[in-house]
Structure 1
Amino acid sequence: MKIVLSGVNLVEGGTLRVFKDAILAFSKNNDIELICLVHRQALFSDVTAHNVSFLEFPSIKSSWLKRCWFEYFHCKNLSKNLNADIWFAMHDMTPNVTAKKRFVYCHNPSPFYTAVKVDYRFEYKMVLFSFFYKWLYQLNIKKNDAVVCQQSWIAEYFKTELGAKKAIIAKPVSKKTQITSTENTTQLVATNKKVTFFYPALARTFKNFELVLDAFLHLKTNAPDCYNKVELVLTIDKGSNQYAQHLVKKYHTLENVTFLGQQPYDEILKLYNRTEVVIFPSKLETWGLPISEAKEHGKPLILVDLPYAHETLGNYDKAHFVDADDPIALAKSITQICNGTDIFSAHQHKQHGTVVENWTQLLSIITQD
């Protein structure tokens, strides 16, 4: 069986890790010939399976005109030449292709986001993009055998609003997540010189870095004893983009905040191990992969009280939810940690609909006759 995985636009962060996980899982089936359409093959140097080949398209990401041309025109001819049994588009847009079965993986949450002032200043393209992304999702969507998405509320949107034939809910994790925290959250301060809060995220405005940074600023001014017991590690720095430059400049007085910059995934895993608390305040996600990764490492989690966070967290015994727009409330929670109070508790989320737990299960579903 020949399967095409198309992800020419995926080059960094969680989406690239999801793409790699799919490739690695599918390649374990020796009866499959896997052809991957990618930005650069060098991004996949860790993929060495004999049944995987790569086709590079390095110029497609340079403009939306080129991307649309690729998806709606070039892929038509390419699909005739490749003659795939399954064409699986990994990045939202349903291409014009010829294949026995077609699937699209939708992960961009832009249609569900309400822009704020900082978005217009630093990511005006994203604001404009969100206005027509619904149209991009809808174009050709009925031609898919199924739409693959990450959460039940998004699956319902695709079926009821956009007319998708079928929606498969697939969690973008390749490992079974740990559901019991290993941290003693009543002794975080007592056993560490400083409590490390870790927020792994790219420098995007919707990631809501200001919530955490304003909370630390409040602590420095109003609770210096607590501030001296904590530190924050962020995977952005002034070289990330203009938004990150703005954050580094605005919060340069916070000496307990480390703007570490983007890190290789193996370094991210090491940072999880060195971290006491993972914090994830993003306002816009279709999943929020660091939540799953933090669970795998058994770390206490501080999350914003939004639907995606509850569904991604699922059942977990060490989580704490805060208002996405209230840094003082977050500062209060951090102060409680400094005072030895265990603010983390067990949370449960009832999943609606059938959920595919890993890529191997998904492969079994999409290859069924």
Structure 2
Amino acid sequence: MSKTIVVSAVNLVEAGPLAILRDCLACLSDLAAQGGYRVIALVYKQSLADFPHIEYIETQWPKKRWINRLWYEYVSMRSISKEIGPVYLWFSLHDTSPSVIAERRAVYCHNAFPFYRWKAHDLFFAPKIALLALFSTYIYKPNIRRNTYLVVQQQWLRNAFQRLFSVPAAKIIVAPPAIETQEVTLSETQQRAGSYTFVFAGSPNSHKNFEVICRAAALLEQQNTVPFTVHLTVKGDENTYAQWLHRKWGHLQSLHFGGFMSRARLEEYYAACDCLIFPSKAESWGLPITEFAAYGKPMLLADLPYAHDTAAGSKWVSFFNPDDPEALAAQMAALLRGDRSFLKTMAKKTLAEPFAMNWPDLFHRLLHS
């Protein structure tokens, strides 16, 4: 008799979380095709992640309001688990641990907001994020210790969840995202083309901390340093936060408000720019760090645990206090002078057990360990 695996992911509809859902279901589709497992996915819409050999239950109701989402997680899903019948593994892909009946339970915790030190301006620019940071600990907590395993992307998150929720380290699997990158060799033309250029790729959200770059650029312009350009992936009209950034610092000659970039366009900027700045205050990974590291060029990163883990094994790295524009400006000025003495090579990290380097390995652990 086949064993039933249920994946609940009704809240994953875009960007990185949707990519996680697709990768997860692609792996389970192959597993179901081999026989022995029945796979059911609870999703917002099947078209977002449609794979063969998987049964789908669609629902948009939980996404409409937070109260709907909580009711669905802690009330409706229990009824669903009973209707499905004996469930061998219930895998929640969006942080919460639903009240279900299953032999094994696991939750993928990819939200770093329980550890985000939000500020008052977040309440104005991104009240949802501020409230998420304030209350996510209480959202995570119900049922979290009833899981067979928790899945996180980095070692620092394992340590943080262990401290915050008293979950044994042996029950937390570190599963870094499988990101395929190859070291890039640049031509001399690509390495130096005009004035020194920096780039920061991020969405127009307040926790991305664009303002520390803007403040640092303003300081450097006041000091009459050599010409430089900072390329930002905000245009200035996306939301209240972006409008504030452009209104306050749009006059600076060194700032280029370029707006959203496709992956191909962003890679062109990575190849052309001299240095990545990544000041974000809340990340479970920090994908641009991994992408830019392949180019072997300097990176100035927020001095936060996620950045240290993501940059492991990278060259030409330095860290700065994400709340200190003077510190960032000093590092930028050093690079403008051609001084790389403060940059260092990050040692590669060895993950402690349990860990999984890909989805098949992860499901082997979830189903058999």
TM-score, normalised by the number of residues in structure 2: 0.85
DSSP-derived class of the 1:367 partner: helix
DSSP-derived class of the 1:92 partner: coil
DSSP-derived class of the 1:11 partner: coil
Paired residue for 2:306? 308
Matched AA of 1:140:
N
Report Cα offsets for 1:213-264 as digits up to 9, x if no partner.
Answer: 112222233235333xx23132x33343211221122121134433333445
Once residues 280 and 224 of structure 2 are traced to their aligned partners in structure 1, the CA distance between those partners, rounded to angstroms, is: 25
Which residue, out of 157, 162, 168, partners 1:154?
157
Paired residue for 2:344? 345
Once residues 61 and 345 of structure 1 are traced to their aligned partners in structure 2, the CA distance between those partners, rounded to angstroms, is: 44
Distance 1:244 1:310, change over 3 A: same
Contact 1:302 / 1:321 at 8 angstroms: preserved in 2?
yes
* Bigger mean CA deviation after superposition, 200-209 or 266-275: 266-275
4+ long deviations beyond 6 Å: 187-190
Q: Indicate whether 1:12 and 2:14 are aligned.
A: yes
Q: Indicate whether 1:261 and 2:277 are aligned.
A: no
Paired residue for 1:281? 279
Unaligned segments of structure 1, at least 5 residues: none
Paired residue for 1:114? 117
Once residues 203 and 291 of structure 1 are traced to their aligned partners in structure 2, the CA distance between those partners, rounded to angstroms, is: 17
Once residues 314 and 38 of structure 1 are traced to their aligned partners in structure 2, the CA distance between those partners, rounded to angstroms, is: 34
Q: Quick one: percent identity of the two aligned structures?
A: 32
Matches within 5 A, 1:68-79: 68-79=70-81
* Bigger mean CA deviation after superposition, 247-256 or 89-98: 247-256
Paired residue for 1:220? 221
Once residues 46 and 296 of structure 2 are traced to their aligned partners in structure 1, the CA distance between those partners, rounded to angstroms, is: 33
Paired residue for 2:41? 36
Unaligned segments of structure 2, at least 5 residues: none
Matches within 5 A, 1:97-112: 97-112=100-115
Once residues 2 and 262 of structure 1 are traced to their aligned partners in structure 2, the CA distance between those partners, rounded to angstroms, is: 41
Per-residue deviation, 1:100: 2.6
Once residues 366 and 233 of structure 1 are traced to their aligned partners in structure 2, the CA distance between those partners, rounded to angstroms, is: 40
Once residues 335 and 210 of structure 1 are traced to their aligned partners in structure 2, the CA distance between those partners, rounded to angstroms, is: 18
Paired residue for 2:205? 204
* Bigger mean CA deviation after superposition, 200-209 or 216-225: 216-225
TM-score, normalised by the number of residues in structure 1: 0.85
Contact 1:152 / 1:169 at 8 angstroms: preserved in 2?
no
Which residue, out of 143, 147, 161, partners 1:144?
147
Question: Pairwise CA RMSD of aligned residues?
Answer: 2.9
Report Cα offsets for 1:14-53 as digits up to 9, x if no partner.
Answer: 3333333333344343335543333344444xx5x42345
Contact 2:200 / 2:276 at 8 angstroms: preserved in 1?
yes
DSSP-derived class of the 2:13 partner: coil
Once residues 265 and 171 of structure 2 are traced to their aligned partners in structure 1, the CA distance between those partners, rounded to angstroms, is: 35
Per-residue deviation, 1:363: 1.7
Contact 1:181 / 1:317 at 8 angstroms: preserved in 2?
no
Once residues 256 and 292 of structure 1 are traced to their aligned partners in structure 2, the CA distance between those partners, rounded to angstroms, is: 25
Once residues 297 and 12 of structure 1 are traced to their aligned partners in structure 2, the CA distance between those partners, rounded to angstroms, is: 27
Per-residue deviation, 1:110: 2.2
* Bigger mean CA deviation after superposition, 122-131 or 189-198: 189-198
Which residue, out of 170, 174, 177, partners 1:170?
174
Once residues 47 and 159 of structure 2 are traced to their aligned partners in structure 1, the CA distance between those partners, rounded to angstroms, is: 37
The structure, 1 or 2, with the larger RCO (C-alpha pairs under 8 Å, 6+ apart) is 1
Paired residue for 1:356? 356
Once residues 136 and 314 of structure 2 are traced to their aligned partners in structure 1, the CA distance between those partners, rounded to angstroms, is: 33
Matches within 5 A, 1:307-346: 307-342=305-340, 344-346=343-345
DSSP-derived class of the 2:71 partner: helix
Distance 1:28 1:255, change over 3 A: farther
DSSP-derived class of the 1:98 partner: coil
Q: How many residues align?
A: 360
Once residues 281 and 189 of structure 2 are traced to their aligned partners in structure 1, the CA distance between those partners, rounded to angstroms, is: 27
